[in-house]
Amino acid sequence: MKIHYYLGWFNNFLPESLGMLLQEDMTDRKSLAMISSNPSIYEDNGTTERSWLDQVGIMFDEYHLINYQVQKEDAQSKIQNASVIFLLGGDTINQNSFLKEYELVDFIKKSNAIVMGASAGAINMSAKWLCSKNLGYEVEMNSVYDGIGLDNFSVLSHFDLENNIARVQNELSLLSEEINIYASNKDCALRVKGDKIDVFGNVFLISHSKIQKLNETF
């Protein structure tokens, strides 16, 4: 059964309950493939995201950072052989372009690895997402991007929802008529295992223009 984690951002460390769940799920720890969101900036090496796993005792035999220093075919091979695939946080648009340029989407969708993403990475894991100035992107016009589509919903991750609920609801209203949207702040997570969705932290569901706060389930 495939498992997907959609994370916000954790400034310090993963909460104990989330760390324990990751430990239970990640029984295969041969290879971690991390996909950069700034693939041309080689110093962006996923140190923070990797530290979250280190702190809860999840270590891998091999670590691979996928960016422009890695050849396309080699990147695809690393995805195919990964135990866990981690889409790093940062630049959502750059990461989206890189995934398509390197033709990684189908390899990720077909993989039996656990797939997780933080912030930008979580957004790109979703079916589609709205790129809007009102959601923090430096663009003049709104546009909807196709993500990997691991699950049939949209994600707004690592956004200051508490102070922007009305604006977020209004901005995402149109897209929410087409697809459910899970919106969360930084210290939050969604875990999808089969048909079951677990919620950690302050996560809101926007569906058919209505917004509701979801109860935590772990």
Residue 218 domain flag: no
Q: Is 128 contained in some domain?
A: yes
Asked, for residue 55, whether it belongs to a domain, the answer is: yes
Range from 26-30, 38-42, 99-103, 117-121 carrying the lowest mean pLDDT = 38-42
- By residue range, what is the domain housing residue 61? 3-213
Q: What is the DSSP letter of 127?
A: S
Query: Which residues sit opposite 3 in a β-bridge?
Result: 193
CATH code for position 142: 3.40.50.880
Of the chain, the end-to-end C-alpha distance in Å amounts to 19
Residue 89 burial by CB count (10 A; 0-12/13-18/19+): exposed, middle or buried? buried
Q: Indicate the pTM of the whole model.
A: 0.96
Let me know if residue 84 belongs to a domain. yes
In a domain, 153, yes or no: yes
Q: Is residue 77 part of a domain?
A: yes
Domain presence at residue 98 = yes
102 is a domain residue:
yes
Q: How many structural domains compose the chain?
A: 1
pLDDT tens digits, 147-198: 999 999 999 987 777 778 888 888 999 999 999 999 998 889 999 999 999 9
